[in-house]
């Protein structure tokens, strides 16, 4: 159990660092009201979780340590659904309804599609 907790914690820390770096790079090069960094992190995180599930499911047993490190830890620390909810709430509160609805719809469609794409691509790894 301790080993699993350490793997999840380490993966989560690395995922959180990558999330911060994505936010930092995005805000450095993109200015606007659209929350691009969270948008990109959720799509990329969904693609990665699809790849990890497909690849690890094919080559490793059910409770392999890499699943805890990469899926639960890294992807859990990297993706940002709670931030997504807060940003949409703020967009709606600031009368940016069109931006909020576009952000919601495209995020949901693209992240689910990215999981499917990642799972599909994992067949070729």
pLDDT tens, residue order, the chain (125 aa): 999 999 999 999 999 999 999 999 999 999 888 999 999 999 999 999 999 989 998 898 788 999 999 999 999 999 988 789 889 999 999 999 999 999 999 999 999 999 999 999 998 98
* pLDDT at residue 81, as a whole number: 86
Half-sphere exposure of residue 61, counting CA atoms within 13 Å on the CB side? 3
Give the model confidence (pLDDT) of 28-44 as tens digits: 999 888 999 999 999 99
Consult the annotation and say whether 106 binds a ligand. Answer: no
Total domains in the fold of the chain: 1
Consult the annotation and say whether 76 binds a ligand. Answer: yes
Domain containing 64 equals 2-124
């Amino acid at each position: 159990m301790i080993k699993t907790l350490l793997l999840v914690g380490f993966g989560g820390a690395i995922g959180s660092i990558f999330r911060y770096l994505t936010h930092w790079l995005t805000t450095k090069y993109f200015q606007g009201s659209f929350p691009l960094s969270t948008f990109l992190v959720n799509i990329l995180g969904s693609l990665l979780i699809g790849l990890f599930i497909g690849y690890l499911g094919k080559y490793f047993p059910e409770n392999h340590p890499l699943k805890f490190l990469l899926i639960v830890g890294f992807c859990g620390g990297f993706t940002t659904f709670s931030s997504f909810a807060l940003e949409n709430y703020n967009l709606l509160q600031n009368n940016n309804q069109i931006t909020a609805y576009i952000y919601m719809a495209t995020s949901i469609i693209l992240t689910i599609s990215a999981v499917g794409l990642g799972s599909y691509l994992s067949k070729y790894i």
